[in-house]
Amino acid sequence: MILQALIFDVDGTLAETEEAHRAAFNRTFEAHDLGWHWSMEDYRWLLKTTGGKERMRAWQATLPPEARRMSDDEIAALHKEKTATYGAILGAGELALRPGVAALIDAARDAGLRIAVATTTNLPNVAALTRCCWNTEPDAVFDVIAAGDEVKAKKPAPDVFELALDRLGLAPGACVAFEDSLNGVHSARGAGLPVVVTPSVYTDDQDFSAAEMVRPSLEGLSVGTLAALLAA
């Protein structure tokens, strides 16, 4: 089939956002005097669980029996506050796109391709990123956004990529997905999409043999090379 769209994961793929997320979590935990603090080592294993609220529940499950337990409603409220803190971090300009991302999206636009997002994160986080890195709103950068809070099951389930394909009105054979994590690869492949992986600082130890292409970054990657993936 002819290449018609590129579908991007957000966190770790478009930008190394995970350190900003970790900082936002820790600032929120500190503000509520929870006694929680996630180190880089902690966050690496927590990222094996997709979704911020889900990571908070996973962390809570490791705490000793006498530790304070939060309800799902309390976790949701805390996560909402964390999202606002993350937005403030990005609003201060503390984030840049990964090498090659802007150039590839510009080249895809020039070639008449559509650009979509399929992410575990939520729309406010996508908006925070586009305002920080593109100085504009999400719909000025992406034709379609499929977010984790819009689907029943998050990655590694294929739901969010299937939602992106449905909104694009395209078959998986007309698109290429971009990911940085093994959960993301499983999600994209489950939706029938070929996958290009650029490992992030938190996923560089994962096995990406199921992907069609693995690169250190998107720098120098051409639309023609991506189109050839569909013909392979």
For 91-129, letters b (16+ CB in 10 Å) and e give eeeebebbebbbebbebbeeeebbbbbbbbbbbbbbbbb
Q: Helices 72-91 and 52-60 meet at what angle, rounded to 10?
A: 130
Q: Token pair 């009105």 is at which residue?
A: 169
The residue type found at 126 is: V
Chain centroid, CA 221 distance in Å: 20
Q: Token pair 């290429």 is at which residue?
A: 176
Q: Token pair 């992406």 is at which residue?
A: 142
Give the integer Cα–Cα distance in Å for 182 and 188.
10
Active-site residue, 166 included: no
Among 9, 33, 149, 207, the one annotated catalytic: 9
Q: Distance of CA 168 to CAs 15, 73, 230, Å?
A: 23, 33, 18
Among 11, 159, 180, 204, the one annotated catalytic: 11
Active-site residue, 9 included: yes
Q: Express the helix, strand and coil content of the chain in percent, nearest 5 each.
A: 45, 10, 40
159 closest CA partner among 168, 149, 169, 144: 149
Q: The tokens of 188 are what?
A: 């994209």
Q: Which residues are catalytic?
A: 9, 11
